[in-house]
């Protein structure tokens, strides 16, 4: 979108979502403007899709998401400047508006929205630490043997690489608190309580324990996700209730303490064990599925993963992967599939860039390719190329499926958890055997090449706008 008038684009978007008065809150992620609207019926989705600079429109859990691409932050700033709204801030809602009916679909979308809003901001911490784990894997005695196991540098990179994984409940406690409108530091404290050394020691030794006389199923929640997400979610209701009922003169002192006090039996005796059980159920289900469909499983997940991204279902898989790695330390199913799916996205963008003749669309495809390779953002390619021209979806699925199938036959596993979708995700294969690393990288490249080739040769109609060179 270089050279585009962001203010004009923002003005057109605001007009088609029903005007500034119809917006209660606006924020953005890596590629999308996210609008909370008073009346969703006032938004003209077809008109939004027709705007030059809008890649797509997604209606997710009563939130209208306008896909912009890597320039979303500039359009977002223009929206704020043009409407006078506060970015991601609370605004007055129409309290008289009827509440949405509670339906299974609504509950499912709310769960996905909670997982996405919680896990998305936490991923950079994992990627950063995974980089150090990769260094120890490559330079350590098991591979290149350039760093002795007892060297200070090896020890440093080892505990830095493990930090985010071990203290992940604290990281997720913070991001969940931001998502569920809880005081962020209380979310961190909730995570710290779950992994306190005393509590972990009791879990290791099997020491009986009660919370205010209530029997507690003591467990080690290090590296877990679901227990702290559930705890922070419930804690939000308690904190808001106390803040509403307590006089302002004592609220700042007593509300946080009482919030934690009330949460102790709820979290340690109910939500923690329930979350751990649910996490174990997800892991068991994924491993059982792997045993049933074998090598074909990686191919299926890699081929369909972009569809999961479009529906938001990919966060369920990512959450499950965290549980799998916490359980067995590696994954030979969903983890490799994510890598091949990511490289397939890169391949589609490259194939489209090489094939498209229209200069403007060709430049956009090049921008999407760079964004996918370096930033790991797949939405521009999915919405700007695959959804727009339809046929590139074939290349997208074929690339991931092919790389996943070969990897499944060769027994490739993700030795490290790298929840990233840029080129760095291939580091997931480091930490195992040399064969695993070479085979994993080879299958990743194969995914990109197949996706690019299929997109180049079959991805466009001869009369497509992609070949309009005017």
Quickly list DSSP for 117-148.
HHHGGGHHHHHHHHHHHHHHHHHSTTTT--S-
Q: Ranked by mean pLDDT, which of 12-16, 69-73, 162-166, 223-227 comes out on top?
A: 12-16
Across 177-185, average pLDDT? 92
Residue 423 to residues 85, 160, 222, 364, 368, Cα–Cα distance (Å): 36, 22, 28, 20, 14
Where does the pLDDT of residue 1 fall: very low under 50, low under 70, confident under 90, or very high at 90 and above? very low
| Site of tokens 């979310």 | 187
Residue 470 has pLDDT above 70, yes or no: no
Active-site residue list: 29
> How far is it, in rounded angstroms, from Cα 248 to Cα 239?
14
Higher pLDDT, 440 or 108: 440
Where does the pLDDT of residue 313 fall: very low under 50, low under 70, confident under 90, or very high at 90 and above? low
Where does the pLDDT of residue 347 fall: very low under 50, low under 70, confident under 90, or very high at 90 and above? very high
Across 240-250, average pLDDT? 89
Question: Are 100 and 106 contacting, i.e. CB atoms less than 8 angstroms apart?
Answer: yes
User: What integer pLDDT is reported at residue 125 of this predicted model?
Assistant: 81
Q: Count of CB atoms within 10 A of residue 61's CB?
A: 17
Residue 2 has pLDDT above 80, yes or no: no
Please state, rounded to an integer, the average pLDDT across all residues of the chain. Answer: 84
User: What integer pLDDT is reported at residue 305 of this predicted model?
Assistant: 86
> How far is it, in rounded angstroms, from Cα 86 to Cα 80?
7
User: What integer pLDDT is reported at residue 91 of this predicted model?
Assistant: 33
How does 444-455 read in b/e, with b if 16+ C-beta sit within 10 Å? bebbbbbbbbbb
Residue 294 has pLDDT above 50, yes or no: yes
53-62, 91-100, 383-392: least confident range: 91-100
Conformational region of residue 210, where left means phi above 0, alpha means psi within -120 to 50, and beta covers everything else: beta
34-48, 92-106, 143-157, 178-192: least confident range: 92-106
The domain locations on the chain are: 6-93, 167-290, 294-467
Across 448-461, average pLDDT? 92
Burial of 245 (0-12, 13-18, 19+ CB in 10 A): exposed
- Reading the block at residue 438, the tokens are 């070479």
> How far is it, in rounded angstroms, from Cα 30 to Cα 273?
34
SS3 46: helix
Residue 233 to residues 174, 282, 374, Cα–Cα distance (Å): 11, 20, 34
285-299, 428-442, 443-457: least confident range: 285-299
Taken as a whole, the chain contains a residue count of 470
Question: Are 138 and 161 contacting, i.e. CB atoms less than 8 angstroms apart?
Answer: no
Where does the pLDDT of residue 99 fall: very low under 50, low under 70, confident under 90, or very high at 90 and above? very low
How does 103-134 read in b/e, with b if 16+ C-beta sit within 10 Å? eeeeeebeebbbbbbbbbbbbebbbebbbbbb
Residue 13 has pLDDT above 90, yes or no: yes
User: What integer pLDDT is reported at residue 283 of this predicted model?
Assistant: 66
Residues 321-341: pLDDT tens digits? 777 777 777 888 888 999 999
Residue among 219, 225, 220 nearest 279 (CA): 225
Where does the pLDDT of residue 317 fall: very low under 50, low under 70, confident under 90, or very high at 90 and above? confident
Where does the pLDDT of residue 279 fall: very low under 50, low under 70, confident under 90, or very high at 90 and above? confident
Question: Are 459 and 351 contacting, i.e. CB atoms less than 8 angstroms apart?
Answer: yes
User: What integer pLDDT is reported at residue 360 of this predicted model?
Assistant: 83
Q: What is the pTM of this model?
A: 0.66
Where does the pLDDT of residue 92 fall: very low under 50, low under 70, confident under 90, or very high at 90 and above? very low
Question: Are 412 and 440 contacting, i.e. CB atoms less than 8 angstroms apart?
Answer: yes
CATH of domain 6-93: 3.30.1360.60
Residue among 90, 81, 77 nearest 36 (CA): 90
């Amino acid at each position: 979108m270089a050279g585009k008038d962001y203010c004009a684009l923002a003005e057109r978007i605001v007009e088609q979502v029903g005007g500034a008065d119809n917006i209660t809150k606006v924020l953005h992620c890596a590629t999308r403007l996210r609008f909370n609207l008073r009346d969703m019926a006032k938004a003209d989705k077809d008109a939004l899709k027709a705007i030059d600079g809008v890649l797509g429109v997604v209606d997710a859990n009563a939130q209208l998401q306008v896909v912009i691409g890597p320039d979303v932050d500039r359009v977002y700033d223009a929206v704020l400047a043009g409407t006078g709204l506060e970015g991601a801030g609370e605004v007055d809602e129409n309290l008289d508006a009827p509440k949405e009916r509670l339906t299974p679909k609504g509950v499912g979308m709310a769960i996905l929205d909670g997982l996405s809003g919680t896990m998305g901001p936490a991923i950079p911490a994992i990627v950063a630490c995974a980089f150090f784990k990769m260094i120890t894997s490559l330079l350590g005695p098991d591979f290149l043997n350039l760093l002795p196991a007892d060297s200070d540098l090896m020890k440093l990179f080892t505990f830095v690489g493990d930090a985010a994984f071990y203290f992940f409940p604290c990281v997720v406690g913070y991001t969940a608190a931001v998502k569920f409108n809880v005081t962020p530091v209380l979310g961190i404290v909730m995570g710290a309580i779950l992994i306190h050394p005393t509590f972990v020691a009791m879990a290791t030794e099997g020491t009986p324990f009660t919370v205010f006389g209530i029997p507690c199923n003591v467990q080690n929640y290090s590296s877990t996700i679901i227990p702290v997400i559930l705890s922070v979610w419930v804690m939000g209701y308690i904190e808001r209730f106390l803040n509403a009922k307590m006089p302002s003169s004592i609220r700042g002192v007593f509300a946080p303490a009482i919030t934690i006090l009330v949460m102790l039996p709820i979290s340690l005796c109910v939500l923690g064990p329930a979350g751990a059980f649910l996490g174990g159920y997800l892991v068991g289900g994924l491993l059982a599925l792997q045993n049933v469909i074998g090598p074909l499983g990686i191919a299926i997940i890699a081929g369909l993963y972009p569809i999961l991204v479009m529906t938001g279902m990919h966060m369920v898989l990512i959450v499950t992967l965290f549980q799998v790695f916490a359980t067995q330390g590696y994954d030979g199913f969903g983890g490799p599939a994510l890598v091949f799916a990511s490289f397939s996205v890169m391949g589609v963008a490259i194939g489209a860039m090489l094939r498209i003749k229209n200069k403007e669309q060709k430049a956009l495809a090049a921008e999407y390719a760079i964004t996918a390779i370096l930033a790991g953002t797949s939405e521009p390619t999915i919405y700007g190329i695959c959804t727009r021209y339809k046929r590139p979806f074939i290349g997208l699925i074929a690339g991931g499926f092919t790389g996943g199938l070969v990897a499944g036959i060769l027994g490739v596993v993700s030795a490290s958890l790298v929840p990233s979708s840029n080129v760095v995700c291939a580091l997931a294969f480091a930490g195992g055997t040399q064969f695993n690393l070479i085979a994993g990288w080879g299958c990743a490249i194969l995914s990109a090449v197949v996706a690019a080739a299929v997109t180049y040769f079959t991805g466009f109609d001869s009369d497509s706008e992609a070949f309009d060179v005017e």
